[in-house]
């Protein structure tokens, strides 16, 4: 990601994580209650401490910390669903971020079912002047999995969101998880190949994490689910990279979990080791991102059936 920013802007860029106080329709009862089975209900560390600092204060604090390493910054609205509010409220929050010195754009984490036409119009307006990413949580293209992990939306809703965003001037990043309960290697590759056929600019990949205080964490402690091994994850991640378009921006290959509530898998906490292992696996195969990419239409209506 660092090289992507440097090639695009000619300087070092850092994403500043911001918690703007949003909630999630999958938590507050609008869609469902309780959220995804792996989701930490506490939100950001700032939220856990009590009253949230303003967006301006969070940006100032982040810039002070990262300024020695970056010249410009992307305001990353990360916690929960960051388009889940009225357009007027969203505009006020995003405007506050964009008026800060050295902020060159936004990265907005959200759900496929929280991107109405008015929200897309607002964001596409920003894209005429700023660098804007919309980060869509998906995790899997398989409805059976989405239902099991309690995502509260289906794959068709994701497709509708991507089709609505396409051509708007916005960059689309999709989040997927490797190691979801009930999925085999073919399921994971079907997810990757499906996304490879869509007008998507970037992807975030990480392993499933079991955290204390989550539904998944309780399942793990009871022994009803198991976590993917490092060897399996490294091999599958390499498989996924091989089928993705070579120009797709890989924004993440590992996950972060709060160490105080982290349960499993232990290997996932050593991010550098995981990244090095993925690189070594690609080197062992004499392979690279896009080696097995097959260009297809960017209009997908259904998912290939899994075995």
The pTM for the full model equals 0.93
DSSP letters of 275-304? HHHHHHHHHHHT--TTTT-----S---SPP
Full pLDDT tens readout for the chain, 307 residues: 888 988 999 999 999 999 999 999 988 888 877 889 999 876 556 656 667 899 999 999 999 999 888 999 999 999 999 999 999 999 999 999 999 999 999 999 999 999 999 999 999 999 999 999 999 999 999 999 999 999 999 999 999 999 999 999 999 999 999 999 999 999 999 999 999 999 999 999 999 999 999 999 999 999 999 999 999 999 999 999 999 999 999 999 998 767 889 999 999 999 999 999 999 999 999 999 999 999 865 555 555 544 3
C-beta separation of 234 from 274 below 8 A: yes
Residue 97 CA: distances (Å) to CA of 17, 59, 115, 253, 266: 11, 8, 20, 27, 36
Least Cα distance to 110 among 119, 121, 118, 101 occurs for 119
Domains of the chain, start order? 2-285 (3.20.20.70)
C-alpha angle 30/121/62, rounded to 5°? 75
């Amino acid at each position: 990601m660092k090289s992507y920013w440097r090639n695009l802007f000619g300087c070092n860029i850092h994403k500043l994580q911001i918690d703007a106080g949003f909630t999630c329709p999958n938590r507050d009862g609008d869609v469902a209650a309780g959220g995804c089975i792996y989701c930490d209900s506490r939100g950001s560390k700032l939220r856990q401490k009590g009253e949230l600092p303003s967006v301006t204060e969070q940006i100032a604090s982040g810039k002070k910390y990262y300024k020695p390493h970056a010249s410009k910054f992307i305001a990353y609205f990360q916690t929960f669903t960051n388009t889940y509010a009225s357009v007027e409220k969203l505009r006020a929050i995003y405007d506050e971020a964009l008026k800060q010195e050295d902020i060159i754009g936004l990265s907005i984490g959200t759900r496929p079912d929280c991107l109405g036409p008015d929200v897309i119009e607002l964001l596409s307006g920003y894209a005429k002047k700023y660098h804007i990413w919309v980060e869509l949580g998906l995790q899997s293209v398989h409805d059976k999995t989405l239902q099991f992990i309690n995502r509260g939306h289906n794959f068709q809703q994701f497709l509708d969101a991507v089709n609505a965003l396409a051509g708007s001037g916005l960059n689309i990043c999709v989040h997927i998880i490797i190691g979801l309960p009930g999925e085999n290697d073919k399921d994971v590759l079907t997810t990757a190949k499906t996304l490879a056929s869509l007008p998507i600019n970037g992807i975030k990949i990480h392993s499933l994490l079991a955290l204390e205080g989550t539904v998944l964490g309780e399942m793990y402690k009871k022994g009803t689910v198991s976590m993917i091994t490092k060897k399996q994850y490294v091999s599958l991640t390499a498989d996924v990279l091989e089928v993705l378009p070579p120009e797709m921006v890989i924004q993440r290959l590992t996950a972060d979990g709060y160490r105080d509530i982290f349960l499993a898998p232990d290997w996932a906490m050593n991010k550098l080791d995981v990244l090095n292992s993925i690189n070594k696996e690609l080197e062992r195969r004499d392979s690279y991102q896009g080696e097995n990419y097959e260009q297809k239409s960017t209009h997908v209506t259904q998912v290939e059936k899994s075995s």
